[in-house]
Each structure stands twice: as C-alpha cells, then as structure tokens.
Amino acid sequence: MILVLAEDEPVALEALTFARRLGEVEAVAFDDVELDGYATRVHRVRLGGYAPVAWAQTVVELAPEIVVAAGTDRGHEVLAHVAARLDAPLAANCIDVRVEGGAFHLMRQRWGGSLVEEARLTGSPKLLTVAPHAVAAEPAGDAPAVVEEFTPRSLADEHFQVRAARREAAAGGGVQLDKARVVVGGGRGVGSAEGFAILEELAALLDGTVGGSRVVTNLGWRPHSDQVGQTGARIAPEIYIACGVSGAIQHWVGCKGAKRILAINTDKDAPLVAKADYAVIGDLHEVLPAVVAELRKP
C-alpha cells in the first residue's frame, strides 16, 4: 500500500500528486478533507485533534509499504515517529523520485532548499516527505474516493500524552501567507514599519496579504509570522510583488515557488531583480502609490 498522510493543508494535495508517481494511492485523514480525484481510498480516523504519537501509531497499524507526507511541521513530526517505531529510514523534503528495482532514487532539498541532494533509499517501509511546492497539485480525474472509517485498535493513553489543546489564529486574521494567491513583500527598502502602509493597501486591493524579509522582522517592522524565507513561510502565490527586497538566498528559498515575481527596486543588480519575471527599477515609495491610484480608478 502507498499511503499518504492527508492533512487539511493545500500542500497535502501536492504530496498525493507526488505519491501517484509510485502507483495507486490511498490516504489516511484525521480531518475532513476532500480528496476525490487524488486518492482511490481514504481511511478516515477520528481522534479528536492532533496527537503526533497517536497519528504515527495509526499509520503503523495500517501497515503500508510506502508512506508519503507533505513537508509540513506535522508531516515531518508524524513520519519521524513512524520511522522511530519501525526503525525505518525517512527521506525528508523530496522533490523527485524514481524507482530503481527495490530502491528509490531521490532528489531532495537540503539546507533549507539552497542545494539539492541525490540519494538512494532502501529498506521497507519507505518513508518520504515532499518539499512544499515542489510539484503542482493535480487530480488524476474526478472519480470519488472510497471513504472508510478506520479505528486503530492499539492506541493507549501513552499515545495521547502530547496533543494539541487548541489552535489560535494569527493576530489580525486575514489570508495566510502560504495560502495567498497574491503576496506583497517588503524588505529593508521599505524604510520603516510605517512604510508598510502602502503595501497593506495594495495587498487589500488585490485580495492578497503582506510578507517581509528576515531583516524586516529582525528590525521589528513586521511580526515573524509575516516572514518569507528559509526560516519563515514558503509561499507559492500566483504573483509575488517584492518591494525593496534584495533577494538573499534565504529569501529566495521562501519565494521561489511563486508562479510570477515582480520586483520593485532601485538597484537593478539586486539578486531578486535578476531572478524576477518582471522588474520595475525605481523607488517603491513612488511606484506603489501610482499603482494603487490606478487600481482605484473607477
């Protein structure tokens, strides 16, 4: 069995798409998620919230030959527990896989995505996590998945010693960075916390959200939850509008999943300007008000 841990996150569909390269896919879901077209069978489990050890024990009880999860905090944590219980190898942040006899030839991201490693995975079962936005989520068709309720028989109190008590939304609400279709990002060039007001206005007009580089969060201009980069959020919007962002490798790791990148910068030689699909060489404090004014025209 090829089993995918299907979280209630968009990147879970990417993991299901990735897993289909290996054969027919089944899923285990601890939340009510829609998987028609992505999995042939869904094992629905009701455990009353996130409990990593209980989730891992459930996966073990299903006895799959291959387990795939999205490279999220939960995906990594659960499969790490599975690997420890089964004494099995775990390959994290994979971006490609090819079957070679009884082994997998893998390409996976290392050092936060700044380099790619070739690896060979042997043993059984084989455990993989898929790097976020490494593949596009695509259904195999529109066939409904067969949903079966599954109740693990081996769970005990010890499996629930660690569990999520509640989930709190980020301050201010709004669209999450990793789910936004439009992200307007700011770097040191914005100049101050107050300078982000025009970025907020543009993002609101485009039904998007605002992000920032690490230097911006280090300076206290934006909270860490707004950080795009290796130690922040990995984004994959339809367009990323980077304003005054130089584009160090750590930031590029976080935004390279964007379908299109528009860079606004006074420095024509900035790394992100060179990598962007479109660039405006100019002062963002002049460019953005002009763009906002144009969007507000009746």
Low-confidence ranges of the chain (pLDDT < 50): none
Same fold, 2-160 and 177-295: yes
Q: What's the CA dihedral at 234, 237, 239, 241 to 10 degrees?
A: -40
How much is the pTM? 0.76
pLDDT of amino acid 170: 61
Residue 185 makes CB contacts below 8 A (sequence gap 6+) with 199, 210, 211, 212, 213, 228, 240, 241, 242, 243, 245, 255
Phi, psi dihedrals of residue 234, rounded to the nearest 5°: -100, 120
pLDDT of amino acid 171: 59
pLDDT of amino acid 169: 65
* pLDDT (tens digit per residue) in 101-121: 889 999 998 876 678 899 999
pLDDT of amino acid 107: 94
pLDDT of amino acid 133: 85
**How many other β-carbons are positioned within 10 Å of the β-carbon of residue 195?**
18
Domain positions in the chain: 2-160, 177-295
Could you please state the CATH topology (level 3) that the domain comprising 2-160 is classified under: Rossmann fold (3.40.50)
pLDDT of amino acid 173: 55
pLDDT of amino acid 174: 63
For domain 177-295, the CATH architecture is: 3-Layer(aba) Sandwich (3.40)
Residue 212 makes CB contacts below 8 A (sequence gap 6+) with 185, 186, 187, 190, 196, 221, 222, 226, 227, 228
* pLDDT (tens digit per residue) in 235-283: 989 999 999 999 988 899 889 889 999 999 999 999 999 999 999 999 9
